[in-house]
Structure 1
Amino acid sequence: MTLLPAASALLSVDMQCAFDEPRWPRRWNRALDHNGLRLVDAWRRSGRPIIHVRHDSVSPTSTLRPGQPGNRFREGFEPQDGEALVTKSVNSAFIGTDLDLRLRRMGIDRLVVFGISTDMCVSTTVRTGANLGWPIMLVTDACDCFDMPDEHGRIIPAEQVHTVHVATLGYEFCELTTTDAIIRSL
């Protein structure tokens, strides 16, 4: 991988405490926080912009609803001074927000995305962003997702859900990369 342009932005998607609550299915990526924190730290040291995305659910029973403990950012993923925060109530960080306009005003020319969950908010954000014309890199080892039931009630393991969604995103919507590759490119 070549050096990332200085006008690249890191998009941290839904790195929130809710996903540790027992009502959520099993997650698989035990390196999620470690890799995500390494990305954020290296990105901050590079002086490039970080945009934090927080899911503010409008569902009254959601663990992601504002005012619930789960709405908080995971430790170390809180926005610091000067770092942007985009709040959303649907899967895509581009729908119902000013993210596209904000990126254009900032002069951003590439997005590097990671977060929770690969198959839901990360995928929908990447797909929408790509459809809007943004070049996107997905940091696959800094994403996580959950076991999912299929239409017959059988459980599809989270690892398989992640693998299939990453393959689909890489085929059509973004470039796939890793935490180490991004850090080296900064």
Structure 2
Amino acid sequence: MTALVLIDVQIGLQETAFYGTERNNPKAEENCGRLLQFFREKQLPIFHVKHNSSNIDSPLYPNKMGNDFHPLVQPLINETIFEKNVNSAFIGTNLEVSLRAQNITDLVIAGLTIEHCISTSVRMASNLGFNVVLVSDATAAFDKMGYDDNNYPADVIFHAELANLKDEFATVLDTNTLLEELDKSLE
């Protein structure tokens, strides 16, 4: 069975002023919303993961508006929510236990950001034996300052992360391709 795992699709990850950099793929949340609608319509399992930062200045700190889920992916009452304070959706949560209890073997992972919680969670899911599809246009990256004091644009970070994860840890598909493939497999 296939489940959708939406990771850290929160308002605060649009606050580029806090992160001091630019973010690519402004349509990531919209594509996460499309995935969510599809999984709801097909009555497939959905898991939401929320990051609670321990940094009081972070927009993702609990009780700050930025900690809230993005309006396009608001969980419904019957959808499971896991809260975490590290990069992996599997550390400090019951996500793995819940997936195994429902005999879920395949995961569609989307959310923010690819260089942090998405990459970590995709790698861990794969290492735990799940078949993972990472949805390329339903994630995003921020610019990064390198160890060499060079600035690496968000698109470079984004594409490097996708290249690192592709085939070794996940199948990488865009939203349209994934939805078409899932729709055909469910006929």
Give 1:64-103 correspondences, 5 Å limit. 64-103=60-99
1:128 paired residue number: 124
Answering whether residue 10 of structure 2 is matched by residue 10 of structure 1, we say no
- Scaled by the length of structure 2, what TM-score is found? 0.93
- String of CA shifts for 1:134-185, please: whole Å, max 9, x gaps: 1100001111110000113221010110101111101411111110112112
Unpaired segments ≥5 residues, structure 2: none
1:112 paired residue number: 108
Deviation at 1:34, TM superposition (A): 2.0
- Scaled by the length of structure 1, what TM-score is found? 0.93
Distance 1:149 1:83 in 2: 37
Unpaired segments ≥5 residues, structure 1: 1-6
Q: Stretches of 4+ moved more than 4 A in 1?
A: none
What amino acid does structure 1 have at the position aligned with 2:159? T
- String of CA shifts for 1:87-118, please: whole Å, max 9, x gaps: 11000000111110010011211000011101
2:37 paired residue number: 41
Paired positions, count = 180
- String of CA shifts for 1:60-92, please: whole Å, max 9, x gaps: 222111111110011121111211101110000
Distance 1:84 1:121 in 2: 18
- Match 2:18 to one of 13, 18, 23: 23
Q: Which has the higher helix share?
A: 2
What amino acid does structure 1 have at the position aligned with 2:52? D
CA RMSD of aligned residues (A): 1.0
Q: Secondary structure of the equivalent of 1:160? A: helix
Distance 1:43 1:180 in 2: 14
2:46 paired residue number: 50
